[in-house]
Amino acid sequence: MPKRVDHQERRTRIADALMRVAAQHGLEAVSLRHVATEAGVSAGMVQHYFRTKDEMMTFAMEAVKDRNETRITAAIEALGPAPEPRDLLRTFLVTLLPLGDESRADGRVALAFLAYRAVRPAASPGLRDETAQMVSFMASLLPGNDEAGAAGLLALMEGLGLYLLGGQYTDEQALAALDAQLSRLFGR
């Protein structure tokens, strides 16, 4: 009887290997050979599941996005059935910040992906729409549905993420900066 292969599991295994390589060594170290070695599979198997580096990168970024969504959903559910908009927004943003080991690894991959995308915009055509949806969601939680304030919060969160990943800010400094901005926007 032929062996059943779980193709999604293999793709995920390869993408996880890509993320480990990118998180530890940067995207410049990502190659079919390095990813195959990290995943414990042949380079041919990697090529079977991902024809190009762009395909591999897009799949890995989707995996990071899925993990972020899982963390966000759990954190928001922990707030209870009717959280205050400020608490909901803070929880959303804090969950996206690279404050723990797993989110730091994901943050390094996301940062590497954004740098990769900066010179290859076609690598992630939906990123602009995803960003617009995030800003719209955040604005809906701010007094006056403040789109500019939401865009500023997103930029602040991204900048804090860079400073956390680079070691310029401690977790406490990043959270204090975020809380100060939320207090300005919510009038407290």
Domain count, the chain: 1
Instruction: Look at residue 47 and tell me if it is in a domain.
Output: no
Q: How far apart are CA 37 and CA 120, in angstroms?
A: 26
Instruction: Look at residue 24 and tell me if it is in a domain.
Output: no
Full residue range of the structural domain in which residue 61 is found: 52-186
pTM over 0.85: no
CATH (domain of 153): 1.10.357.10
pLDDT in single tens digits along all 188 residues of the chain: 666 778 888 888 888 888 888 778 877 777 888 889 999 999 998 888 888 877 877 777 787 788 889 999 999 999 999 999 999 999 999 999 999 888 888 888 788 778 777 887 776 677 788 899 999 999 999 999 999 999 999 999 999 999 999 999 999 999 999 999 999 999 86
How many angstroms from the chain centroid is the CA of residue 160? 14
Instruction: Look at residue 89 and tell me if it is in a domain.
Output: yes
Instruction: Look at residue 40 and tell me if it is in a domain.
Output: no
Q: How far apart are CA 24 and CA 27, in angstroms?
A: 9
